[in-house]
Amino acid sequence: MLFYLIILVVTAVDQITKVWIRSILKVGESMPFYKDIISFTHYQNSGAAGSSLQGSARYLGILAVVIIAVILYYRKKGSFEGFFKECGAAFFVGGAIGNGIERLLFGKVTDFIVFRSGHGVMNLADLAINLGVVFFVLDLFLSYRHKLLPKEKKFQ
* 111 tagged catalytic: yes
Of these residues, 14, 36, 126, 139, which one is catalytic?
126
Of these residues, 14, 36, 111, 139, which one is catalytic?
111
Distance separating alpha carbons of residues 9 and 28, to the nearest angstrom: 28
Distance separating alpha carbons of residues 74 and 92, to the nearest angstrom: 14
The type of residue at 125 is: A
* 126 tagged catalytic: yes
**Within 13 Å, how many C-alpha atoms sit on residue 28's CB side?**
0
- What DSSP assignment string belongs to 47-81? SSGGG-STT-HHHHHHHHHHHHHHHHHHHHTTTT-
Which residues are designated catalytic? 111, 126
